[in-house]
Amino acid sequence: MGGGVFKERFVEHSLSSFLAFLKDALLSEEVSLRRGFAQSLDPRIKILSFSFLIVAVLFSKSIPVLFCLYSLSIALACVSGIGLFFFLKRTWVFIPLFSLFIALPVLSGNFSPGEKLFALNLGHAAITVTREGVYVFVLFILRIAAMVSFAVLLNITTRHFSLLKALRVFKVPQAFVMVMGICYRYIYLFIGIIENALLSVKSRVGMVRNYKTGQRVAGWNIASLWIRSCRLSEEVYAAMLSRGYCGEPVLEESFRVKLKDWIWLLFTGGVLACGIKFSL
Amino acid sequence: MRDKVFSLKEVYFSYLGRFPALCGIDAEILSGQKVAVVGANGSGKSTFLSLLDGLIFADKGEVRFLGRELNGRAFSDDNFLRDFRRKVGFVFQNPEVQLFCPTIKEDILFGPLQLGLDKAKTESCLERVSEMLGIGGLFERSPHQLSIGEKRKAALASVLVMDPEVLILDEPTAGLDPSTSRNIIDLLLDESSAGKTVVISTHDLHVVEEVAEEVYVLGQDRRVASCGKMRDILSDAALLAANNLTHIHSHRHGALSHTHSHLHCEQKGCRDGGLNKKG
Ligand SMILES: Nc1ncnc2c1ncn2[C@@H]1O[C@H](COP(=O)(O)OP(=O)(O)OP(=O)(O)O)[C@@H](O)[C@H]1O
Ligand SMILES: [Mg+2]
């Protein structure tokens, strides 16, 4: 058995486990049903306060401050019944996605001129790493990490329908909220379709044997997936209409702001104010 | 005289204006009637039922619900919309699309919540339905963790719990185990004897025989090939065979094997449509 086959198996395996992960990461509501601090906040207050924190992160320019904010997000996760390892895994998956391509250039001397730490010699192009470059890089990564952490926290501790409803309170247009609501279902269906398509290809041809046929199957799939998923989302919408949906979800529980919510909002407002003050 | 719940006159419908699905359908469904729509794959059953539920509108001809024409204008009237959704429940052929909430329980309660139905009544209805379908244990699960049959049951429950006056079901028993199918048939009969109007589509002539009093056969030409009383339709072997509704059985008795078309019903004269011996 050649290395190529091994590689294909590996790709296939990692693709399906990635899909499973994605489904879980985006759609599981399990965390939002646990009892914990973040879950107990009123969704409207939660959206507002987490926006405060994210803006504070955007403004702060010092590593210690960012470090504190990042620690705050981890502490929040811990008091919300989320395991530390689970949370780190969940957030750090997205961090490279956001950061790497933007952050790498600033490492090099071209963008951050300063004291030379060491130089990588890559044939014609030498990359000089400077102390300032490293500083900016760490700052950048920390900032992304803190932002992603807060965003993930907000997402996994709030039920999707509550989130949608709370958005309406902030005068986000109804059409937009509706589309988001459908998107949520749609992602799930879409991942399901990809999974099934993968399985059906596997059951028919054993596995994607060579690059050429693999490419053809993939090309065909993407086109048909697109059509199929459009059709499904239409049907989902029809199913919602059929049961009396008129564009705005009606929730069972009504939102109630408690004293705890106000204190928390005040605290995050304070963090934001400090963040802005120190950055100016 | 019973009210006409639905009346269709010369209804045409095509998808995207290019793929004709219904070409001139006439039908009349009376209040309290039990109606089955049968036909081969692609004959337009689902399209027909979607028209009844006001999810699509006729290109030509008219569909009326209790005398009022179903079209875009009618549904832009909020009162009518609410009233119609309250009175008519539709179970989709693909249960997948009908479950869009995080948990099954929320999905089932979605309709009553949207329509602002009475809480206590909904609760008791929920209890009855979930016991009947045996899905009490699934309430906290999320839709993507269920088998297809379980999804179908949940989708059914989500409509039954609204307690609509008109029940439209697109292949309600497809892919369900025999005892659940049985329960669903019983449930439909119960609803019907309580005065509900029941419209189902199916390929299963057993179900037709038990549930329906009126049968519409949709032909390959996407028109009503025949309609009438259940007994008359089920005893018309040629009609059923022409619409892919019977299948050929082949079995072996010792060295002798023979095939015959097999009708799934118990009436006289519809057994062993064409017997031919081989070997
Ligand atoms: N979204 C669509 N776009 C284009 N054509 C469609 C679409 N949906 C259905 N059709 C076509 O309309 C016709 C009727 O379809 P319909 O789904 O009503 O059949 P059906 O009787 O329910 O079949 P089945 O027994 O397989 O469920 C078919 O020929 C089908 O190809
Ligand atoms: Mg159908």
| B133 plus B260 within the same structural domain | no
Q: Do B116 and A250 touch (CB under 8 A)?
A: yes
CB of B192 shorter than 6 A to ligand 1: no
The shortest C-alpha distance from B103 to chain A (Å) reads 9
| B163 plus B259 within the same structural domain | no
Residue whose tokens read 């933007």? A102
CB of B151 shorter than 6 A to ligand 1: no
| Protein residues with C-beta less than 5 angstroms from the ion ligand 2 | B 45-46, 93
| B190 plus B56 within the same structural domain | yes
Convert the pLDDT of each residue in A246-274 to its tens digit. Answer: 766 666 666 778 888 888 889 988 888 88
- Dig out the tokens for B213 from the structure: 């009093």
The answer for residues whose C-beta is within 8 angstroms of residue A142's C-beta and 6 or more apart is A63, A66, A67, A70
| B194 plus B262 within the same structural domain | no
What spacing in Å lies between the alpha carbon of B96 and ligand 2's midpoint? Answer: 14
| Average pLDDT per 10 consecutive residues for chain B, totaling 279 residues | 87 88 92 92 92 91 91 86 91 85 82 85 88 86 81 91 92 86 89 93 89 91 88 85 71 58 46 40
| B56 plus B94 within the same structural domain | yes
Which residues form the domain of B255? Answer: 249-279
The total number of structural domains in chain B stands at 2
Burial pattern A36-60, b for ≥16 Cβ within 10 A else e, equals: bbbbebbbbbbbbbbbbbbbbbebb
| B140 plus B27 within the same structural domain | yes
Nearest to A239 among B82, B92, B113 (CB): B92
Largest CA distance in chain A: 67
CB of A231 shorter than 6 A to ligand 1: yes
| B238 plus B254 within the same structural domain | no
| B269 plus B168 within the same structural domain | no
* Residue to mutate (ligand 1; options B46, B49, B199, B202; most atoms within 8 A of CB): B46
d(C-alpha A15, C-alpha A207), whole Å: 13
d(C-alpha A221, C-alpha B255), whole Å: 48
CB of B51 shorter than 6 A to ligand 1: no
| B209 plus B276 within the same structural domain | no
Instruction: Give the CATH number, domain containing residue B85.
Output: 3.40.50.300
Q: Do A250 and B50 touch (CB under 8 A)?
A: no
Residue whose tokens read 């010792």? B254
Helix (H) or strand (E) holding B199: strand B197-202
Convert the pLDDT of each residue in A167-211 to its tens digit. Answer: 777 777 766 666 666 666 666 666 766 776 666 666 665 554 555
| B33 plus B130 within the same structural domain | yes
Residue type, A80: S
Convert the pLDDT of each residue in A92-111 to its tens digit. Answer: 877 776 665 555 555 554 55
User: Would you list the domain boundaries of chain A?
Assistant: 11-29+161-249, 34-158+254-279
| B259 plus B181 within the same structural domain | no
Strands B34-39 and A125-130: unpaired
Report yes or no on whether pTM surpasses 0.90.
no
Q: Do B144 and A188 touch (CB under 8 A)?
A: yes
| B105 plus B222 within the same structural domain | yes
Interface predicted TM-score (ipTM) of this complex, two decimals: 0.78
